[in-house]
Structure 1
Amino acid sequence: MNNTTLYLRHAELLRDQVPSFQTYPFHLPAVRTLDRLIFQKPVTFLVGENGTGKSTLLEGIAAAWGFNPEGGTLNFSFNTRSSHSSLYEYFRIARGVRRPKDGFFLRAESYYNVASYIDELDEQPSFGPPIKNSYGGKSLHEQSHGESFFAAFVHRFGGRGLYILDEPEAALSPLRQMSLLVRMHELVQQDSQFIIATHSPILMSYPGAEIFLLEGEGIRSVALEETEHYTVTKAFMNDRQGMLRELLEDEQA
């Protein structure tokens, strides 16, 4: 896939319509300096420190596409708590020439609500198979947090899809994160596009991915080795005792 065949080609902030860049969410670093975020690869990562606006930006893009701000498929219309921002109202998104066959917006913080909504729908009279069959045939609430996350990746994601994921590593062990890389690769080969906000250097290692670093000065494209997630993890593992000694001595001083 290239930019002309990606499902989501860019997201543009309508800056002239923003009421104020001094108020939430427009004061966030990722939003304040944003003009147009261009997607050029099948896999794009949004990375940066807490508070830079990764999740808010991702949510705005997902909602502008048409996803429920709390997550799920395009058909999910529940509203547990209106905590999403109005950012999506100020986005203009450019869709590719092809339309995705599948799609999912996964938010770690509200995945419980998605699981509850699926159970509620399955309790209602229906002429079709239970929705939980698309997630492995078992209620997501009857699985561990990590298992329920992974069930969506393995069973629900079907290829030719746009998948927007907010910190999918939150419930996954390092081994499961590597398994997610394998599943992502399978889906990319099936003409899927991923946009992922993450802190995981394991996920960021996906070959050929674009990594956008969100910082106070704005958004820029970086290599994996330039991210703090990679350098700090590598430094810690290469000199664990030295790093611990320095950290704990500083704490006691």
Structure 2
Amino acid sequence: MIVERAYASRPPEEADVWPWSVPCVAELLAGGLNFTTPVTFLVGENGSGKSTLVEALAEGFGLDSWGSSHDWRYASPRSKSPLGERLRFDAAPGRGRRMLGSWSARQGFFLRAETAMDALKRESFDPESVSHGEGFLAVFREKFQQAGLYVMDEPEAALSFQSCLELIGHMDQLAKNGGQVICATHSPLLTALPGADIIEVGAHGMRRTTWDDLAIVDHWRRYLSDPRSYLRHVLD
């Protein structure tokens, strides 16, 4: 583990504006977000705020907000989000305290679906030599090695079923090697990783849950059992 808790304070005059008005952000402001296991999944519908959270967590740790490793910056740097600017961490004992205590000691990677291929180029990898999904896996194989904080925003976007299983293996190995993963996802495959902490994000804010109780798991079970029960609502 690298971090045990994330917390932030908002400007007092901005209570009703984004991002402070997003329910999960409001809950973070009220009590912080505790990390209890090396792998944490944030799950929720589009617009729930999970990507806002993971981007701010990456920025707070010092990872480039466009995506890439800790020691690299885009030529035209993007300013931090309002939440990322104010985010702070409580370090986990040992390695976490060393990393948060020294900028040069920090290790990690922020993977976001929109900029992953560009990040590959910046990391001296030729993404044109492989498919989009293989490029994602190349990041996992080459960059997700050292103990550090690895933040991901919907990494399953370019991955097949089999590739998602490989990613689960990389996450598990990172956890065993002392790393930490925080991942926003819609994937019932990824969230099935044994021992992972699952936080459902939505209008309620944030709540811890289990894989069996996830709404996305229930929907996929129902859909695969009887697609027509869903499709009749969207098809003429």
TM-score normalized by the length of structure 1? 0.82
Calculate percent identity across the aligned residue pairs.
Answer: 35
Whole-Å Cα distance in 1 between the matches of residues 118 and 80 of structure 2?
14
Residue aligning to 2:22: 28
**1:7 Cα deviation (Å)?**
0.6
Whole-Å Cα distance in 2 between the matches of residues 37 and 52 of structure 1?
16
- Is 1:11 the counterpart of 2:16 in the alignment? no
Whole-Å Cα distance in 2 between the matches of residues 103 and 237 of structure 1?
37
Task: Render the CA deviation track for 1:46-99: whole Å, top value 9, x for unaligned.
Answer: 011110111111110110111110111111111557375221122121122314
Q: Which runs of 4+ in 1 moved over 6 A?
A: none
Pick from 16, 33, 56 the counterpart of residue 37 of structure 1: 33
Paired residues for 1:61-76 under 5 Å = 61-76=57-72
Residue aligning to 1:103: 108
Task: Render the CA deviation track for 1:87-146: whole Å, top value 9, x for unaligned.
Answer: 11221211223145631111111213313433xxxxxxxxxxxx43xxxxxx12332111
Matched-pair contact (CA < 8 Å) for 2:223–2:230: no
CA separation of 1:216 and 1:79: change in aligned 2, threshold 3 A: farther
- What amino acid does structure 2 have at the position aligned with 1:222? T
Larger Rg: 1
Pick from 73, 78, 96 the counterpart of residue 77 of structure 1: 73
Whole-Å Cα distance in 2 between the matches of residues 75 and 81 of structure 1?
13
**1:214 Cα deviation (Å)?**
0.7
Pick from 84, 89, 93 the counterpart of residue 89 of structure 2: 93
Residue aligning to 1:231: 218
Which segments of 5 or more consecutive residues in structure 1 lack a partner in the other structure?
A: 1-5, 119-130, 133-138
Which segments of 5 or more consecutive residues in structure 2 lack a partner in the other structure?
A: 100-105
CA separation of 1:199 and 1:84: change in aligned 2, threshold 3 A: farther
Pick from 223, 228, 232 the counterpart of residue 249 of structure 1: 232
Matched-pair contact (CA < 8 Å) for 1:55–1:166: yes
Count of aligned positions: 225
